[in-house]
Amino acid sequence: MKILHGLVLFVALLMHTTWASATETISFVVYNSYVPIILDTQPASGFAYAVADLLTKRSQGRFHFVVQVVPRKRLDHMLESGDPLVVPFVAPSFFADEAMTRYFWTSPLFVDRQLIVYNPAHPIDYKLPDSLRGKILGGIIGFHYAPLEAMIAKGEITREDAVKDEQNLAKLAAARIDAVTISSLSYNYLRTVDLRFGELETCPTPLYPIERRFFVQGRADIRDFIESALADVATSPEWHNVFSSVHLR
């Protein structure tokens, strides 16, 4: 009996070891580490961690998606290496891959919008870039706002950058700048955590839409798995909880 019991334990341990060794760790690389994509790293919290955990769970032991927060230049270096990795919440235009041929792209997780936000004490009715002529616009260091770049280069729009979106919104609330451009993902979160930001207004016309997708370098099978996990994104309680955690639903 003892021999049989020991044999059962041995087999169970062997199966566990085999399963564990079969689990592949995949880098889930985030460079756009603004809130709520990354809220904190110690302890880990934010949209990126919640999505990585959900995908890991959905893979049933096949993959373990591990969030890595890196600067864009570091990500570019990682891409040059050719190693398999996943980059979430980005658009093909961010990586000069509009034809989606350099990397394996998924369908959009959701469609975001790059907003123009203003202080209601000094209204702005944004329709076209010319609506911002003569204005001071808050942006984020290193970010490229394609529809506005020509006017910024000519000095027709004054761009005043900050490190974080909340810094720009604070300046706007204090009427130190005229407008801020920010993703709806970030703005919808930030206006729930600071009452000052809830008093600001958004222009009905966005600067541009952003289809937030995942891309995978070098591994079509990982892309196919993520694509399958997106199939019930509109109806799954698991996905609903992830989106609700950052006020997206």
The SS3 assignment for 110 reads strand
Over residues 179-203, mean pLDDT: 95
Q: Domain coordinates of the chain in residue numbers? A: 22-111+211-244, 112-209
Cβ distance 223 to 214 under 8 Å?
yes
Confidence class of residue 246 from pLDDT cuts 50, 70 and 90? confident
- pLDDT tens readout for residues 114-135: 999 999 999 999 999 999 999 9
Confidence class of residue 3 from pLDDT cuts 50, 70 and 90? low
Confidence class of residue 113 from pLDDT cuts 50, 70 and 90? very high
Q: Confirm whether 22-111+211-244 and 112-209 share one CATH topology.
A: yes
- Record: fold of 22-111+211-244: D-Maltodextrin-Binding Protein; domain 2 (3.40.190)
pTM: 0.86
Cβ distance 107 to 224 under 8 Å?
no
Q: Which residues contact 137 (CB under 8 A, 6 or more apart)?
A: 148, 152, 157, 158, 159, 160, 177, 178, 179, 180, 181
According to CATH, the superfamily of the domain at 112-209 is Periplasmic binding protein-like II (3.40.190.10)
